[in-house]
Amino acid sequence: ARIVTLPGDGVGPEVTAAAVAVLQALAGHYGHEFSFDEQLIGGCAIDATGEPLPAATLAACQQADAVLLGAVGGPKWSDPNAPVRPEQGLLGLRAALGVYANLRPLQVHPALADLSPLKNERLQGVDVLFVRELTGGAYFGAKTRTDDTATDECKYTVAEVERVARRAFALARGRRKQLTSVDKANVLETSRLWRSTVQRIATEFPDVKVEHQLVDSMAMLLLSQPSRYDVVVTENLFGDILTDEAAALAGSLGLLPSASLGESRVGLYEPIHGSAPDIAGKGVANPVGTILSAALLLRHSLQLEAEAVAIEAAIDRVLNDGPHSRDIGGQAGTQDVLDAVLQALD
């Protein structure tokens, strides 16, 4: 299988290297051949080529089986009025690959419950899969700007909502068969289209129980009753906000993976944390979110379920027994955590 790696900026190279080491070890154990092709994206791509998503990067990704990304962005490129920004590389890649469904699983590891801002009893049984629409909405709508005024258009078509809703229903079918669709249908026209489309697709999945929540209520319910939710599907911007809110429950952003999938086989896998410039290059970043993203890559793009489960079991052991990186209250560096994961895999 051909895997393109996009280490990107900040801690991206460190955590990507750790995940690649895990994939290589696994390939050895199971007798697979994985090739790794490293390409530029984000701030480092701007520095090298002037563009956040160079043509060579995009071409390599389009020919790959899967793409593993570290992080993009950092203070060096953070002027919001700069002509090119690192984030454009990531948004352009999502659009070009057509990965409209961003899966963000949330579980709170029992050994880490004390790190969560939520009271331990509220964390019992939390197991949510967010499905965030990733290639539409205000992220990709028309924008205007004059000296005096700015606009962003949020736009959704029925077909865009249908495909992400179907994906979410199918995922719910393989889990606890509950789908929560989040919108702001009492105010937004796009949300009314969203809601009526989800309601129609629901008839194709009569075994899945559906509920609709307004985004403001959902922001509360995620805190007051997080264990109530199974699969949560929502549009791009609401998904950006709600998944980060939910991620805070895990105690550290460093732990959480994501998978972005479209109709084609090539998926985009990345930890949900950012480039963390404050700790970049120090060898202390938590590689767990990226290693778990590699597990999702094995599962969703390479159909290697046993291998994915092996990684998840190894991470589970390391989170139970340590060593723990600094973000989760330990002293271990990136390499220490990686070594422990590799050992747990043996």
Ligand X SMILES: CC(C)[C@H](C(=O)O)[C@@H](O)C(=O)O
Catalytic residue set: 139, 184, 216, 240, 244
Q: Indicate whether 149 belongs to the interface with ligand X (CB under 6 A).
A: no
Q: Is 38 exposed, middle or buried (0-12, 13-18, 19+ CB in 10 A)?
A: middle
209 is in an annotated binding site: no
244 is in an annotated binding site: yes
Beta carbons within 8 Å of 31's beta carbon, 6+ residues apart: none
Which helix (H) or strand (E) is 143 found in, with range? strand 143-145
The candidate with the shortest Cα–Cα distance to 70, out of 258, 241, 238, is: 258
Query: What's the token pair of residue 50?
Result: 């002037």
Q: Stretches 84-92, 248-256, 296-304, 326-334: which one binds ligand X (CB under 6 A)?
A: 84-92
# residues contacting ligand X (CB under 6 A): 7
Nearer to ligand X, 247 or 315 (CB): 247
Whole-angstrom Cα distance, residue 249 to residue 252? 8
Q: How many CA atoms lie within 13 A of 280 on its CB side?
A: 21
Among 111, 170, 248, 342, the residue binding a second copy under the rule CB under 8 A is: 248
Q: In angstroms, give the least distance from the CB of 97 to ligand X.
A: 14
Q: Is residue 29 within 8 Å of residue 61, measured between CB atoms?
A: no
Among 240, 312, 316, 339, the residue binding ligand X under the rule CB under 6 A is: 240
Whole-angstrom Cα distance, residue 309 to residue 317? 12
Q: Indicate whether 228 belongs to the interface with a second copy (CB under 8 A).
A: no
Q: Binds 56, which of a second copy, ligand X, none (CB < 5 to 8 A, cut-off by type)?
A: none
Nearer to ligand X, 146 or 186 (CB): 186
Question: 233 has which bridge partners?
Answer: 131, 181
Q: In angstroms, give the least distance from the CB of 62 to ligand X.
A: 20
Q: Indicate whether 38 belongs to the interface with ligand X (CB under 6 A).
A: no
Per-residue CA distances from 236 to 141, 203, 239, 275, 339 (Å): 11, 24, 5, 21, 36
275 is in an annotated binding site: yes
Q: Indicate whether 118 belongs to the interface with a second copy (CB under 8 A).
A: yes
Q: In angstroms, give the least distance from the CB of 285 to a second copy.
A: 17
Q: Stretches 27-35, 86-94, 193-201, 320-328: which one binds ligand X (CB under 6 A)?
A: 86-94
The residue whose two tokens read 């995922």 is 171
Q: Where are the alpha helices (DSSP H) in 229-325?
A: 236-249, 288-300, 305-321
Q: Stretches 83-91, 118-126, 198-206, 288-296: which one binds ligand X (CB under 6 A)?
A: 83-91
# residues contacting a second copy (CB under 8 A): 64
Q: Indicate whether 216 belongs to the interface with ligand X (CB under 6 A).
A: yes
Q: What are phi and psi of 37, to 5 degrees?
A: -120, 110
Q: How many residues does the chain have?
A: 346
Q: Indicate whether 339 belongs to the interface with ligand X (CB under 6 A).
A: no
Helix axes 12-30 and 334-345, enclosed angle (nearest 10): 10
Which helix (H) or strand (E) is 212 found in, with range? strand 209-214
Q: In angstroms, give the least distance from the CB of 46 to a second copy.
A: 14
Q: Which residues bind ligand X (CB under 6 A)?
A: 87, 90-91, 186-187, 216, 240
Interface residue list for a second copy (CB under 8 A): 73, 80-81, 85, 87, 91, 116-120, 122, 138-139, 141, 143-145, 147-159, 184-193, 195-196, 215-217, 219-224, 237-238, 240-245, 247-249, 253
Residue ranges for the known binding site for Mg(2+) are 216, 240, 244
